[in-house]
Amino acid sequence: MLESVAVLYEQGAEIEWEAVEGGKGRRKVELPTYAFQRKRYWVERKKGGRRGSGKKVHELLGERVRTAVVEGQYEAVMSAGEPGFVKDHRIGPEVVMPATGYLEMGIAAGREAGMGERAELREVELTEAMVLEEGEERVVQVVVEKGEGEGKRFRVYSAEGAGEEAARGEWKLHASGRMVEAEGKEGEQRSKKSEESVEGIRKRCVEQQSSEEFYQWMRGRGAEFGPGFEGVRRIYRGDGEALGEIE
């Protein structure tokens, strides 16, 4: 029974110790030290902490933060290795959040705001790159507000450090845009208008470029992509348009 009580206590359950001990007295004892180093194995808590719910709603959004000012606010801590895919997206020697990361944050925030799977982004602006330095953390916040007219607006900010350090730091705006819920019929009509056969595009794009040539061309412009961002297998280029085979 005591083992079960210990497991529950470790997971944060409130234990009625008097019932467990059957009315017997108890006393606190010092945690024994390691036989050679004389050190106690207490796990230090990070100072400051965040105001989140403690539960991730999305890999990039992180936790939902309680707020009385905006409709929704989310907070996550990111670094050059977290989330794992960012380390494969480098501009020169620096790890930089890819543009698709901001788009995913916006779409996820729209779903959390009640738009479900039909959330769409419009008028997206990327204002400043988010550089993730090696050995440092950045707090990333996604803010959702009521927009003018249709839909809502989202903004992505970040600040150096975590907890109280981030609260004192300078917040930078990286991306913003409008979120709308696509109407079923309107979305279908828009898709039909934009439909064009792949073969039709392929016939116009006669110049071919292999994946090796493409990534070499990207490296020449300072983009160093790792395996996580090397999904292009072949490029077909034409006059002002291109078609890519993506794996």
Q: Report pLDDT digits (tens) over 89-137.
A: 999 999 999 999 999 999 999 888 887 778 889 999 999 999 999 988 9
In which band, very low, low, confident or very high, does the pLDDT at 16 lie, cut at 50, 70 and 90? Answer: confident
Query: Does the pLDDT at position 59 exceed 80?
Result: yes
Q: Whose CA is closest to 72, among 17, 118, 100, 114? A: 114
How far apart are alpha carbons 129 and 53 in whole angstroms?
A: 28
Least confident of 96-105, 159-168, 175-184: 159-168
Query: For residue 139, what are the contacts with CB-CB under 8 A and spacing of at least 6?
Result: 50, 75, 76, 77, 158, 159, 161, 162, 166
Query: Does the pLDDT at position 53 exceed 70?
Result: no
Round the average pLDDT of the chain to a whole number and report it.
Answer: 82
Question: DSSP code of 189?
Answer: H
Helices (H), 1-142: 2-10, 17-21, 99-110
Query: Does the pLDDT at position 24 exceed 50?
Result: yes
Query: Does the pLDDT at position 65 exceed 70?
Result: yes
Query: Does the pLDDT at position 74 exceed 70?
Result: yes
How far apart are alpha carbons 146 and 178 in whole angstroms?
A: 10
CA angle (26, 28, 32) in 5-degree steps = 130
